[in-house]
Amino acid sequence: MFQMTRQRKPSWLRILCPDGNLAKLKPRRCTCGRWTIRCEPTHGVWESYDPGIIHGSEDLSVAIILNRRLMQVIWNMGISQPLLRNTWGAAGITPEATYLGEHDCQCQPISMKPFKLPAKPHASSDILANVTVTPSEIREFKKVWYQ
């Protein structure tokens, strides 16, 4: 007897939907059997998104042609959590940003690209590049240091 295997949970959902995140994102299985990212606010309507990240002009053009609603994912480095921002139609959409596409049970997901954390900004290696020390300041430092 043939038995359908269920779709495995994408591993990046653990990163995108951490416990206690402020965006109220939770990985859930839809009634159609696919994994979704559900935004479950305490006071509003639940919204479901496909787990694949939409990024780049090709994915965005497909989403716009299919009239899929998009939600921009902004990673907050300070709290290490995702934040979501609505996009209204084609306004405010840039190919460099990352988006989640609205889930539709009758259609295939636009993208199944995994979510990757953005690179952390590094401090410049020349921390003391703009510091100038005068000889009198050096003499004063030595005087205090060797007391």
pLDDT tens by residue, 43-88: 778 888 888 888 888 888 888 888 888 888 888 888 888 888 888 7
- Residue ranges of E strands in the chain: 25-29, 35-39, 47-55, 70-76, 81-86, 98-102
Please compute the mean of the pLDDT values over residues 142-146 and round it to a whole number: 87
Please compute the mean of the pLDDT values over residues 19-30 and round it to a whole number: 86
Separation of alpha carbons 100 and 37, rounded Å: 9
User: What does the block give as tokens for 24?
Assistant: 């109220």
8 within some domain: no
48 within some domain: yes
83 within some domain: yes
Residue 16 near residue 100, CB atoms below 8 Å:
no
38 within some domain: yes
142 within some domain: no
**Domain count for the chain:** 1
At 1, the pLDDT band (50, 70, 90 cuts) reads very low
